[in-house]
Structure 1
Amino acid sequence: MIMDDLDNEFRPTTQLEDYADFSDDTPTKVRKQSRLPLPRSFFVEPKRETGFHRSTRLCLERIRESMLHHRWQEAAQYMACYPQMIEDTTAGSAHHYKELIWRISTEILHHHPNSKMEDYNIIYEQMKHSGVKHYLLICLEHSFHLMLHGQVENAKRHISIAESWRHGKESACQIQTTKLIQAYRSLLDYVIWCDKKNNASGINLINPGSNQDLHNCFRQASVNLKEILKCPGVWDSFILSYVEMLEFYGDHEEAEKVLQDYAYDNTFPNNPNAHAYLYQYLQRHNASKRRLMNVLKILHMLVPSHELMLDYTFLLLDTEKHMKKALGILLDMLDFACWRTNMVVWDRLNNVIDQLQRGEDWKEVVAAKMAARKGWWPALHFTRFHATEDAEQRPELMKVKASLTKILCPDIKLTYSAGQTFNGDC
C-alpha cells in the first residue's frame, strides 16, 4: 500500500503541466501518454522545476529506496526532512502530501528497531493538527496503536475526542467515519467492561446489577453497539461483544433478536458468520432441533463446506426421513479439498449409506446424488496417488474410502489400493 502510494507520487501527473514551458515552440496541449506497457524512466523531471521541488522529490526517492531495502534508520533520517513539503502551496494538493507523510512515517516507525511509543504519539499528534481531511482516520489509527500496546483507557480518551470533533462541512462529509469512530469507542468500552468483569468478586457476579461501575460500562458500550444494526455492513466483533454483555445480564430475548436481525436483514450483505453466531447462541440456550436445522439450512446454502455442516448432518441423522438430505450435505462437503482427508466426514458418509441401504431404492438415491460428480469426483478422491498417500498416512481412512468406491462410482473402473495399477477413467 505504501509503495503503491510512492509509485503514484513518482508518476508524472497533470500537475507537472504547471511547470511546463508553454512557449511558441511547444505544443499548446500536453500529449497523452501511451497506454502500452512501454518502459518509463523511474523519475520524470518536469521541464521547469524549482530547487525546493527538486530537493523534496529526490528526498522522497531516497526514502523509497531505503524502505525497499529495509534500511529503516536511513529512511527515518530522510523522512525528518521531507515534511517541509507540507509548506508548498504551489502544487495545490497539500492534503495528499500530508497523508503520504502520515503513512510513510508510521510505516518506518513500525519497523525501526529503536522506535518508542513517544515517537508514535508525536507523529500522530502532528498529523492530526496539520489539517482536517484525515483527522478522524488518524485518531482512529492512533487509538488502535494505543490499544494494541495495552493502553485501553488512553485509547478511549483519544477516540472520545475524535467522536466529539466538529469542523463545519468536513463533519458532514465524514459522517460514515464518525459512525465508525462511535462504534470503536463502544468496543473499547466493552474491553473495559470485560476487564472490570474479570476483576470483580464472585459475589458481585452472582447479581451483576449490584456492581454499578460494571453496569455503567455496559450502558456506555451498548449505546452505539445497539445502533450498529441500523447501518448495513459486516460488524461481527461489535455484534458478538453486545450479545455477550446482554447474555451476562440475562437479556436473552434482546440478544437473540440482535443476532436474528444481523443474520436475516436483507439490507445487510450475505454473511455466513452471522448465521453461525445465531446457531451457536441457540445451541447454548437449548433451542429445538427444528430451529437449529433451519439456521444451518441457510448456512449450507451460503457455505456448503462450513464446519458446522457436521452438526447439521448429526441433527439430520436423528430422523430417518432426513437421510437423503444428510447424504447430499456430506457429499457437498467432500466436494471441497479441505475435507478430503477428514475421517469424521467419511465415516459419517459411510454410516448414512448403511442406513440408506435398508431401503429398496438406495442405489437410485446414491446415483442421483453422484450423477453430476461422475466426471471429476473420483479424480478428487480415488486416484492411485490418494491410495498410496492414505495407505501410508491414514490407513483407517483408506479402509472406509475403499469400501465406498463401488457404491459411489459403480460404473467406473478404478482401483483404490496402494501399489496396484490404476485403470479406467479415474
Structure 2
Amino acid sequence: MDDLENELRPPVQFNEHNDSLDNTVTQKKKRSRLPLAEPFMPAPPIKTSLDRTTRLCLERIRGAMLHHRWQEAAEYMACYPQMLQDRNLRRDVCDKEMIRRISIEIFHHHPNSNMDDYNVIYEQMKHSGVTQYLMICLEHIFHLLLNGQFENAKRQLSAAQSWRYGKESARQHQKAKLIQAYSSLLDYIIWCDKKNAPGKSNFTDPGSNQEMHKYFRQAAVNLKEIIKHPGVWDPFILSYVEMLEFYGAQEEAKKVLEDYAYDSTFPANPNALVYLYQFLQRHDTSKTKLMKVLKVLHYLVPSHELMLDYSYFLLRSEKTGDIQKALGVVLDMLDYACWRTSLDVWKCLKDVIDKLQLHGDWKDDVAEKMAARKEWWPALHFTRLLATEDALQRPQLMEVKSSLTKIFCPEITLTYSAGQIIRDERI
C-alpha cells in the first residue's frame, strides 16, 4: 500500500455542470505540500468516454483499497482489465504492471483468497509479457517460500532458470542471477532439513548422507559463482559457510568470508565483518587477527556492540597507545544515545580510565578526546533528569558515572550526582 499514492494517479475532478472534458483535464489542482516522488506513470489525456470510465474505475479501486474494502476492490478489479483493450502498446506495458501490483495487493488482504488464487494470477501475469517475467517469477517464489511450499517453489525456480527469450535474457541478467541465488538457497534449506531430520544419523546412513551431499553440491556450485558478483549476499554467504564448515572445509569458508569482507569491489557491508569475526571466534583465532577485523568494523560502525569486545582487547594490551585507542573506542560508543544507559560500556570506560591513570600524561589524553565533545557530551549523559532516573532505576550505573564526572567535565558544575539528588529531595 505504500506505493499506491504514486502508482495510482490522483483523482480527476469531473464538473457535473460542464461536459467539456478539456476543462476537466486542465482544471487547476491543489498541490500537496508533501515531498512526493514522481508518479508511477503520467496520466494520459482523456480522449474518449472509455478513457474517462477507465480512470473512474481506477479511482474506485483506489478508494476501496485505501479504506480496506477488499471485496469491493476485487469486484472493480475484475472489470478494469477489460477496459484496456484499445490502449496503445506503450501504455499497455505500464497498465499490466499496475494491474499486477494492485491484484497481488488485493489478494494479499482479501479474507477469502487462497494459494490457488495467487498461483493463477501469477501465471497469468507471467504470460502477459516478457519484460517482467523474471521479476514476477521471483515474487511468486517468495510467496511460495513464505507459505512453506518448497517443492512448488523449486519447480518455479527450475522453470525460471531455463527461461530464454532473445535479447530479453541479456537485459534481465541481474534478475537471472537472483533466480540462481535463490535456487541455491532452496537447496540449502532442503540440505538443512535432511541434516536435522529426527531419528536419522547422517554419518551412519550412507543413503541419507549421499542425498545430503547432492544438495550441497548443487547449492555450492551456484553460490560459488554468485558471490563473485559484487553485492550484498548475506543470507547466501551464511548458508554457504555453514555447509563448508559442516564438511570440514574451514579454510575455504574463511577465504569466502575474507573476500566478502575485504573485496573493494563489493559495497561496504558491516555484516560481512561481523560474520568473519564470529567465524574466527569459533575457530580460536589469535587476538591480533580478531582485532584487525574489529578495527575495520569500528571505522564503519563505531556504535556497533562488538566495539565493547574491541575495547577490552585494546585494554588488555600492554601498549600505552592501545589504551588510548580503547578510550577513543568507548567514547565513540557513548556518542550514541543507544549506549547511554549501558552499565557494561560505562564500566569499560572506568576500567580504561583506571589503567590510563597509571601513566603521567593521562589527563592530556582525556582532554584531547573530549575537546570536540565538551559542548554537547554533558547534556547527553550528565543531566539532572538522567541523574534522577539512574538513582531510582540504575543505582550501579549512577555510581560508575558519578565517579567519572570530574574526569570528563572538570570545568563544568554538573547536577549529575547522588548528593545533588539527596539535597533536592530534602528541599
1:24 is aligned to none
Query: Which of 281, 284, 291 lines up with 2:282 in the alignment?
Result: 284
Structure 2: how far apart are the matches of 1:266 and 1:207?
44
The answer to whether the Cα contact below 8 Å between 2:194 and 2:208 also exists between their aligned partners in 1 is no
State the AA in 1 paired with 2:308: L
Q: Sort the Cα spacing of 1:232 and 1:47 in 2 relative to 1 into closer, same or farther, 3 A.
A: closer
Aligned to 1:367: 367
Is structure 2 residue 413 aligned with structure 1 residue 394?
Answer: no
Query: Which residue identity is paired with 1:49?
Result: T
| Shift of residue 237, structure 1, vs aligned partner | 0.7
Percent identical: 66
Mapped partners of 1:36, 1:63: distance in 2:
22
Q: Secondary structure at the match of 1:104?
A: helix
Once residues 204 and 300 of structure 2 are traced to their aligned partners in structure 1, the CA distance between those partners, rounded to angstroms, is: 40
Q: Which residue in 1 is equivalent to 2:113?
A: 115
C-alpha separation in 2, matches of 1:282 and 1:189: 26
Query: Per-residue deviation at 1:185?
Result: 1.0
- How many Å apart are 1:46 and its aligned residue? 4.2
1:303-314 matches, cutoff 5 A: 303-314=301-312
2:350, 2:115 → 1: CA distance?
A: 58
Q: How do 1:220-239 and structure 2 match up within 5 A?
A: 220-239=218-237
Structure 2: how far apart are the matches of 1:208 and 1:287?
A: 34
Alignment of 1:1-400 (within 5 A): 1-8=2-9, 46=45, 48-50=47-49, 52-90=50-88, 92-199=90-197, 203-205=201-203, 211-321=209-319, 322-400=322-400
Q: Which is further off, 84-93 or 105-114?
A: 84-93
The residue identity in structure 2 corresponding to 1:414 is L
User: 1:179 and 1:355 mapped to 2: Cα distance?
Assistant: 53
Say if 1:324 and 1:386 are closer, same or farther in 2 by CA, change over 3 A. Answer: same
Shift in Å at residue 86 of structure 1?
A: 4.7
- Paired letter, 1:231: H
Contact 2:333 2:339 in 1 (8 A): yes
Contact 2:195 2:202 in 1 (8 A): no
Structure 2: state its 5+ residue gaps.
Answer: 14-20, 34-41
Amino acid at match of 1:48: K
Residue 405 of structure 1 pairs with residue 405 of structure 2: yes
CA drift of 1:10 comes to 5.9
Count, aligned residues: 406
Cα distance in 2 for partners of 1:75, 1:230 equals: 45
Report if aligned partners of 2:130, 2:168 keep a CA contact under 8 Å in 1. yes
Per the alignment, in what secondary structure is the counterpart of residue 80 of structure 1?
helix
Asked if the contact 2:391–2:418 (Cα under 8 Å) also holds between the matched residues in 1, the reply is yes
Per the alignment, do residues 120 and 227 of structure 1 end up closer, same or farther by CA in structure 2, a change over 3 Å counting? same
1:45: Cα distance to partner? 8.8
Structure 1 residue 62, shift from structure 2 partner: 0.6
Q: Post-superposition shift, 1:88?
A: 3.0
* TM-score normalised by L of structure 2: 0.88
- Alpha-carbon contact 1:2-1:103 (below 8 Å) kept: no
Checking the alignment, whether the CA contact within 8 Å between 1:11 and 1:44 is kept in structure 2 is no
C-alpha RMSD over aligned residues = 3.0
Secondary structure, counterpart of 1:379 in structure 2: helix
Amino acid of the structure 1 residue aligned with 2:253: A
Distance (Å, rounded) in 2 between the aligned partners of 1:139 and 1:245: 27
Equivalent residues of 1:129, 1:135 under 8 A apart: yes
CA distance in 1, matches of 2:227, 2:4: 36
- 1:256, CA displacement in angstroms? 0.4
Distance in 2 separating the partners of 1:69 and 1:293: 54
Amino acid at match of 1:165: W
Tell me the secondary structure at the aligned position of residue 199 of structure 1: coil
Displacement of 1:85 after TM fit?
4.1
Q: Distance in 2 between matches of 1:74 and 1:47?
A: 25
- Taking the aligned partners of 1:11 and 1:184, their CA distance within structure 2 comes to 43
State the distance in 1 between where 2:83 and 2:310 align.
60
For 2:233 and 2:83, the matched residues in 1 are separated by 38
Would the alpha carbon gap of residues 419 and 237 (structure 1) be closer, same or farther in structure 2, given more than 3 Å must change?
Answer: same
